[in-house]
Structure 1
Amino acid sequence: MARRRLLGDAFWAGVFALPTEELEVVRHCTLTPDDLALVAAKRSPHGRLAYALLLLTLRHPGRALEAAEVPPALMTAYVARQVDADPTALEVHRLRPQSRREYLAELMRQGGFRSFGRTEARAIVAWLTAIAGSRRTPAELATTLIEELRRRRILLPTPGVLEGLIHEARARAERVAHRALTDGLDVARLAELDGLIAAAPGGSPSRLAWLRGASVSPAAANLHGLVERLRAVRALGIERSREAAVPPIAFDALAGEGLRMTAQHLRDLAQPRRGATLAAAVLRLEAELTDAALLMFDKLMGTLSRRAEQGATEGAAGALRDAQAHLRLLARAGRAVIAAREGGTDAADAVEQAVGWAPFLRAVAEAEDLARPEAIDMRAELVGRWPTMRRFAPALLETFDFEGATGTAGLRKALAVLREMDAAGRRTLPDDAPTGFIRRAWRPFVIGGAGKPDRRAWEVCVLSELRDRLRAGDVWVRGSRRYRNFEDLLLPRPTFAALRAEGPLAVGVAEDIEAHLASRQEALEAAMAEVAALAGAGRLPDATLDEDGLHITPIRAEAPPEVKRFAADAYALLPRIRITDLLLEVDGWTGLSECFTHARSGRPAPDRAALLTAVLADGINLGLTRMAESCRGPALRQLAWTHDWHVREECYAAALARLIEAHRALPLAAAWGDGTTSSSDGQFFRAGGRGEAVGDVNARHGNEPGVAFYTHVSDQFGPFHTKVIAATASEAPHVLDGLLRNGTGLRFAEHYTDTGGATDQVFGLFALLGIRFAPRLRDLKDRRLYTFRNRRPDLTLRNAPLMMPCRMSACGGGGVGDGGGGGRDRS
């Protein structure tokens, strides 16, 4: 049975081709002194040239030069100069077949070259099997295989044989992964896994479909549904340690297949592949359900907090309206008391005559009620929503074990107490209920007059603090990918120690902290002195710094009106073209469709038109159903299959990287910039249809739910990275993602953001990476800048700030403080 082709003829032609570019010729065709000594043993010039060409061809591309094959002219001329021969010698004096065979035998004997045979095939397949476990794409495996054959000086066999080696290595790697995931699973456990895909009576969906179909819309009932599914997954007893038994890429591939394939297709798989695929899918489902449940808890608490804040605001405004009459009465009573004091009469009589004593007492009582902090604080409103929290909190606490840093010990103890109370059905708090975790702002609402905590307020405070600590990363859950221990994302200490032992770390700062701080202080003081001198002379560009503070000239539009007219004329010259034709044309230039490989085999999509149609449906947010109805091309089933198996986030990232690289190669791109600077910003998109259920409400964008797209753009106007984030999320943690994980060859020296992308941590990380961070900050005059505590006293301008943010980022040493601290230095 013929195997399916993995790679096209163009790829293999490039593998076996002789070098034609000058750099390639120099790299692969330069003879060493030992080579020249061997070549010099041949007496005739054409013999020396033929001998040298045969030697170099054995090394690269790793095959024998054919008898009638003519090497590229550039290669022949370069080699001829080295062996003192005429490049046309081969044309005049053809090498006899016998001499060619003798030369090849001699070169293979002296150079250690071997022909490819069964022994070499067994050895190379065993070696490639380990590689195939962590590298999935055929192109990667082929490139690795060819390099290894060249390194071992084994002549390359035909493309069909090479593809057969890749097929065999991949099959073996899959069998190894299957055994690793199913090793130790008894027959009963495998039967439980098969029960996930068993046909349900009455045409109902399989249990696996039920597990995959959980709603992620924030609601108490949906959280219970996630918890129920998570318990069902855990009941299967597949240990999480099995995931570490196979390479991450292999596990992701198996888990992706299990979650993407239908139950019918999974039933058609043979063991142990079926068991391994289901085990990987179950482990991935456990992590995804864990993340979904914790994220839903976060959103539910956020929704309750927003409603409590709105209720507190509305309640305060209503109470103020209701209290106006009492305030007027108190004002009259106060005037009467003042007049009595000045006239020397009795104040009580004055109040009685002015407003009446009983109304005065009622007004004082009303004022006292309004003066209580809990009367207008959102925490009091949040405590009032305790019954809503009770609908989902017990299930959450019963399902998850929360771990955390040392500083969260009190909170974790409170969670354990609350879990025990829910299990026992107790309504009163124990006398030793922990209260050390309660923040100062919460204490008036939680701790009563007798010094004992109120049950409802205490529980609401526990849940609110849990949400905050989960978001901060101080509390985590094992098995979660989103809420896991931050230490798990760092290099292990032994690995870091080994890296340091190998040489300097790849960071943009000195490893000696004292030397680094000394250099930063020197640079900072020099910048402060320069700014102080310019400010004293009134020569700061676009800014004034004096005793009254910092005043910055607003940025004006630099483009004159003529530029807008020119842009409109330029766009008018562009031809009107169908977007489908444009997509096909760009694909013809760049081959971006090759990046959308099959999730299992790694091969490109067989139907390019169907693939690009599915991509277009994503791009214009039309959906596969409406796209199939509006075009005369592929049917819905074909589009759905192509989208399920060929369209993934990593495929989009690879295709975008290919587009950016093609854009960079255009001469016109250099007119905009050299590709060393970039900027990033978020854009809010409202969600519709099913997306409304999972979108976040951001007060900045109104009350309609949606998500934010955080996009990085180079100075050549290429959007090289885009990431979907929650509308309520801070942009700052995502700034570095686009610079470090874009898949392109771009290397940036400077990056710009707005205020939302700037935090002290981002400043510090950019300094470590050696990239200049230059954010555009809002309300700069209200900010305090970091300085060293022992700064020189002669660099001050009374109480005014001393340094512009661009100077600070040029030093690479500090960040912008968000207020606080008064006039004190902060280090």
Structure 2
Amino acid sequence: MPRRSILSAAERESLLALPDTKDELIRHYTFSESDLSIIRQRRGPANRLGFAVQLCYLRFPGVILGADEPPFPPLLRLVANQLKVGIESWDEYGQREQTRREHLVELQTVFGFQPFTIGHYRQAVQLLTELAMQTDKGIVLARALIEHLRRQSVIVPALNAVERASAEAITRANRRLFGRIGQALIEAKQAGRDPFAAIEAVMSWDAFAESVTEAQRLAQPEDFDFLHRIGESYATLRRYAPEFLDVLKLRAAPAAKDVLDAIEVLRSMNSDNARKVPTDAPTEFIKPRWQKLVMTDTGIDRRYYELCALSELKNALRSGDIWVQGSRQFKDFEDYLVPPAKFASLKQASELPLAVATDCDQYLHDRLTLLETQLATVNRMALANELPDAIITESGLKITPLDAAVPDTAQALIDQTAMILPHVKITELLLEVDEWTGFTRHFAHLKSGDLAKDKNLLLTTILADAINLGLTKMAESCPGTTYAKLAWLQAWHIRDETYGAALAELVNAQFRHPFAEHWGDGTTSSSDGQNFRTGSKAESTGHINPKYGSSPGRTFYTHISDQYAPFHTKVVNVGVRDSTYVLDGLLYHESDLRIEEHYTDTAGFTDHVFALMHLLGFRFAPRIRDLGDTKLYIPKGDATYEALKPMIGGTLNIKHVRAHWDEILRMATSIKQGTATASLMLRKLGSYPRQNGLAVALRELGRIERTLFILDWLQSVELRRRVHAGLNKGEARNALARAVFFNRLGEIRDRSFEQQRYRASGLNLVTAAIVLWNTVYLERAANALRGHGQAVDDGLLQYLSPLGWEHINLTGDYLWRSSAKIGAGKFRPLRPLQPA
């Protein structure tokens, strides 16, 4: 019986392909000191080179290099350079077959490699069967198996064995699936239930139909800009759309069934090579904007029908009305939420992790009573012209701008302390901060968990991200460092989670420092987006937002505490509203901060954000531009608030809130517990049709909170000052970040999103280190002034800022001189006081 083939020739070749980029070669084939120690025990350069090359192949791609097979030339050169031997030594290696065998045995003994046995085969089939229940793509299973073997240090066998194990797993999965379906049908007949429902209880009807008919799979289309000369792009779209429509399995809610039916028509047309759209093709999904393009005098236009269907599919995927089986981002909206049974149990036990009353009647009674009271109070104050620095007339609202908040005496103190702060190089600053906090210990090796042996090399890699220099230029600017060393360290020690843990260490140190209390108690924060242009190879990855000009770019969205510590940052597209990511920073930072009140500018708020902020226990206070155009909403339509009439936009729809109260609580609980991120849920809600019940209900809840906030804003100058001061701290932090991120014209030139994230994380970490260092030395500067007989009013210390950088040298060669000469527990001397 011939062997079942599930891999194409190209797929077989790709499975054990060697890395072909410099970075990947360095990542996989750079030796540690312990590796080199073992390799150097071989006698002669040829044996050392051969032993090392065999080790490389065993590690990746995980195979034994054949006796007559020459090594990959770039790999050979990299290994030879590390061993300081000539590549011609390879020709002398292994002239005795016994030498190769002895080396292989020794490699297995010393490094723990295991040969692939029948036991491994059985384990592999069992492992792959679970995966094969989700997909029957041979290449997916084969790759999963090879990755598993590499992790277990098992030598990858011949590809025939890999393919055979994958094929057997598919067969077992099919049998298991058919067995479940058969059993479900038997039980349905015995119980008199619907047999079709029984099948769908085991697997989706689409998946069942595919397994029977081997129909092509459906897929999500790529993003594209429609209705703007879109017909001219049809040929380009056709290059890949049919293939995308042959990959993923889609399911739809009833609201999007007509869209999915249209996609099925397109799939059938692609399969049959048909050009004309059937006359009975679904058209209910075609919106008025598309009608004149799709429906013509001669019938349905194929180009625009397909473009319209794919556009609607994109919208449905975003909103969750259509989902992709097996996807994490585009799955059923229900799958993002905590299970209904768990939610019901938590609610019944009064254990929902929310900051509000979970009984709808009680919640609405409390909030609406407060709202009516506040409306009456502000209406009375407006009629009597008693609103502080604000007036409401028939033409709208006018608020007097705030006065300058920094007194002259404070400015003198700012200047004096700045003049005596020590001059310091950025390298010295980072070493000193690490001496205080040990933040570098969080950059552990991905596999072993070991700390980086060369701390200076680690800090060099971090600094390369922070100042936007890149590893190549940093290696040239840092004597004794090579690109290969930096790239290897970045590959194994630099990750999102290591950056996050190190940042939390610095933020916590700032939070605990007594001097930081002059700026706040760590319970308030602000967030803002900072745009960086994308240039060179990264230009195509950026997006254009007219707010930032006509050049493409990325936004680093950063949260900063009232103590100036930047505790969270995220790389986002400039076209996405800032409000989408406000809650992420408050919920998912790793520091000890307990934020209670948060400030943003206008781009940081929506009604959905107002609602979720309140539900999750945060007081939200955005600085809203054109506040007079932002409407108030009242509980009852028959209530009259004569003075507020120009600002009232309508009556709250409380029925929607009542109808969807449990859905609101369940979604907020899911966000709080981390089942789904806040930004993902806000994007989903923002993509919903306007009539979607949950989106409308949450909007109404947000309108209550927004109205209450505006009423507070009108009554409280202190609130306005607090928000203004908080946002000013964020803007000052952005100025520091811009100064640090100065190389490459301040442009992001990394194409991969991973590298762009590392740029943002490195920048945020270094700015946090600067903030902490400045805080420590500002305290010493204030004490020095007092020591010289100058009176320093504690009330003025709040006006000092740890965001200055004039005394920090950010440029030049990056030399790492030990801070040991300062002495443990000691500090750099301040600059001498200048005579008055």
Q: Indicate the TM-score class for this superposition, using the shorter chain for normalisation.
A: 0.5 to 0.7
User: Hey, what's the Cα distance between the residues in 2 that align with 1:443 and 1:196?
Assistant: 58
What secondary structure is seen at the aligned counterpart in 2 of 1:442?
Answer: helix
Q: String of CA shifts for 1:333-374, please: whole Å, max 9, x gaps.
A: xxxxxxxxxxxxxxxxxxxxxxxxxxxxxxxxxxxxxxxxxx
The aligned amino acid for 2:260 is: R
Aligned pair in 2 of structure 1 residues 467, 495: CA closer, same or farther (>3 Å)?
same
Aligned pair in 2 of structure 1 residues 694, 798: CA closer, same or farther (>3 Å)?
closer
Shift of 1:563: 5.0
Partner of 1:602: 449
Choose which of 230, 246, 267 in structure 2 pairs with 1:398: 246
Q: String of CA shifts for 1:102-125, please: whole Å, max 9, x gaps.
A: xxxxxxxxxxxxxxxxxxxxxxxx
Choose which of 701, 704, 707 in structure 2 pairs with 1:814: 704
Choose which of 779, 801, 804 in structure 1 pairs with 2:647: 801
Choose which of 433, 436, 439 in structure 1 pairs with 2:281: 433
Q: String of CA shifts for 1:136-170, please: whole Å, max 9, x gaps.
A: xxxxxxxxxxxxxxxxxxxxxxxxxxxxxxxxxxx
Aligned pair in 2 of structure 1 residues 408, 553: CA closer, same or farther (>3 Å)?
farther
Query: Is residue 706 from structure 1 mapped to residue 553 from structure 2 by the alignment?
Result: yes
Aligned pair in 2 of structure 1 residues 561, 411: CA closer, same or farther (>3 Å)?
farther
Query: Is residue 642 from structure 1 mapped to residue 489 from structure 2 by the alignment?
Result: yes
User: Hey, what's the Cα distance between the residues in 1 that align with 2:296 and 2:317?
Assistant: 28
Query: Is residue 383 from structure 1 mapped to residue 231 from structure 2 by the alignment?
Result: yes
User: Hey, what's the Cα distance between the residues in 2 that align with 1:267 and 1:747?
Assistant: 41
What secondary structure is seen at the aligned counterpart in 2 of 1:786?
Answer: strand
Shift of 1:551: 2.5
Aligned pair in 2 of structure 1 residues 477, 534: CA closer, same or farther (>3 Å)?
same
Q: String of CA shifts for 1:734-774, please: whole Å, max 9, x gaps.
A: 11111111011111111111122211111111111121111
Shift of 1:555: 4.5
The aligned amino acid for 1:794 is: T
Partner of 2:616: 769
TM-score, normalisation: structure 2: 0.53
Query: Is residue 661 from structure 1 mapped to residue 476 from structure 2 by the alignment?
Result: no
Query: Is residue 511 from structure 1 mapped to residue 358 from structure 2 by the alignment?
Result: yes
Aligned pair in 2 of structure 1 residues 441, 296: CA closer, same or farther (>3 Å)?
closer
User: Hey, what's the Cα distance between the residues in 2 that align with 1:583 and 1:726?
Assistant: 30
Partner of 1:446: 294
Partner of 2:458: 611
Q: String of CA shifts for 1:442-484, please: whole Å, max 9, x gaps.
A: 323323357x432222222222222233333333323333333
Percent of counterpart pairs with the same letter? Answer: 42
Cα contact 2:559–2:568 (8 A) shared by 1:
yes
Aligned pair in 2 of structure 1 residues 294, 198: CA closer, same or farther (>3 Å)?
farther
User: Hey, what's the Cα distance between the residues in 2 that align with 1:258 and 1:436?
Assistant: 46
Aligned pair in 2 of structure 1 residues 764, 459: CA closer, same or farther (>3 Å)?
same
Shift of 1:438: 1.9
Choose which of 196, 200, 222 in structure 2 pairs with 1:297: 222
Partner of 1:757: 604
Shift of 1:385: 3.1
Aligned pair in 2 of structure 1 residues 205, 530: CA closer, same or farther (>3 Å)?
farther
User: Hey, what's the Cα distance between the residues in 2 that align with 1:795 and 1:197?
Assistant: 83
The aligned amino acid for 2:464 is: A
Aligned pair in 2 of structure 1 residues 657, 798: CA closer, same or farther (>3 Å)?
closer
Aligned pair in 2 of structure 1 residues 639, 798: CA closer, same or farther (>3 Å)?
closer
Shift of 1:557: 4.1
Aligned pair in 2 of structure 1 residues 778, 587: CA closer, same or farther (>3 Å)?
same
Once the two structures are superposed, the pairs formed by residues 197-276 of structure 1 within 5 Å of their partners are: 203=72, 241-242=130-131, 269-270=154-155
Query: Is residue 721 from structure 1 mapped to residue 583 from structure 2 by the alignment?
Result: no
Q: String of CA shifts for 1:365-396, please: whole Å, max 9, x gaps.
A: xxxxxxxxxxxxxx262234323322332222
What secondary structure is seen at the aligned counterpart in 2 of 1:482?
Answer: coil
Choose which of 746, 763, 767 in structure 1 pairs with 2:593: 746
Partner of 2:311: 464
Cα contact 2:559–2:567 (8 A) shared by 1:
yes
Aligned pair in 2 of structure 1 residues 418, 638: CA closer, same or farther (>3 Å)?
same
User: Hey, what's the Cα distance between the residues in 1 that align with 2:145 and 2:585?
Assistant: 25
Shift of 1:561: 6.4
Shift of 1:696: 2.0
Shift of 1:514: 1.3
Aligned pair in 2 of structure 1 residues 467, 557: CA closer, same or farther (>3 Å)?
farther
Partner of 1:28: none
Partner of 1:693: 540
The aligned amino acid for 1:801 is: M
The aligned amino acid for 1:297 is: E
Partner of 1:485: 332
Choose which of 248, 260, 275 in structure 2 pairs with 1:412: 260
Cα contact 1:709–1:724 (8 A) shared by 2:
yes
The aligned amino acid for 2:281 is: A
User: Hey, what's the Cα distance between the residues in 2 that align with 1:237 and 1:760?
Assistant: 50
User: Hey, what's the Cα distance between the residues in 2 that align with 1:198 and 1:448?
Assistant: 64
Choose which of 508, 522, 532 in structure 2 pairs with 1:675: 522
Cα contact 2:65–2:71 (8 A) shared by 1:
no
Query: Is residue 423 from structure 1 mapped to residue 250 from structure 2 by the alignment?
Result: no
Partner of 2:398: 551
Partner of 1:540: 387
User: Hey, what's the Cα distance between the residues in 2 that align with 1:198 and 1:800?
Assistant: 80
User: Hey, what's the Cα distance between the residues in 2 that align with 1:698 and 1:463?
Assistant: 25
What secondary structure is seen at the aligned counterpart in 2 of 1:297?
Answer: coil
Q: String of CA shifts for 1:780-819, please: whole Å, max 9, x gaps.
A: 222333332x355233447422599xxx99x9872559xx
User: Hey, what's the Cα distance between the residues in 1 that align with 2:380 and 2:220?
Assistant: 52
Partner of 2:418: 571
Aligned residues: 487
Shift of 1:713: 0.7
Partner of 1:25: none
Once the two structures are superposed, the pairs formed by residues 350-369 of structure 1 within 5 Å of their partners are: none
The aligned amino acid for 1:598 is: H
TM-score, normalisation: structure 1: 0.53
Moved more, 478-487 or 760-769: 478-487
What secondary structure is seen at the aligned counterpart in 2 of 1:559?
Answer: coil
The aligned amino acid for 2:646 is: A
Partner of 1:824: none
RMSD of aligned Cα (Å): 4.1
Moved more, 552-561 or 638-647: 552-561
Cα contact 1:408–1:474 (8 A) shared by 2:
yes
Aligned pair in 2 of structure 1 residues 687, 793: CA closer, same or farther (>3 Å)?
same
Shift of 1:630: 1.5
Q: String of CA shifts for 1:300-348, please: whole Å, max 9, x gaps.
A: x0xx45xxxxxxxxxxxxxxxxxxxxxxxxxxxxxxxxxxxxxxxxxxx
Partner of 1:341: none
Cα contact 1:520–1:813 (8 A) shared by 2:
no
Partner of 1:530: 377
Shift of 1:579: 1.0
Cα contact 2:607–2:703 (8 A) shared by 1:
no
The aligned amino acid for 1:795 is: Y
User: Hey, what's the Cα distance between the residues in 1 that align with 2:528 and 2:553?
Assistant: 16
Shift of 1:495: 2.3
Unaligned runs of 5+ in 1: 1-192, 207-235, 246-253, 281-292, 306-378, 818-827
What secondary structure is seen at the aligned counterpart in 2 of 1:390?
Answer: helix
User: Hey, what's the Cα distance between the residues in 1 that align with 2:307 and 2:623?
Assistant: 39
User: Hey, what's the Cα distance between the residues in 2 that align with 1:196 and 1:536?
Assistant: 83
Cα contact 2:379–2:644 (8 A) shared by 1:
no
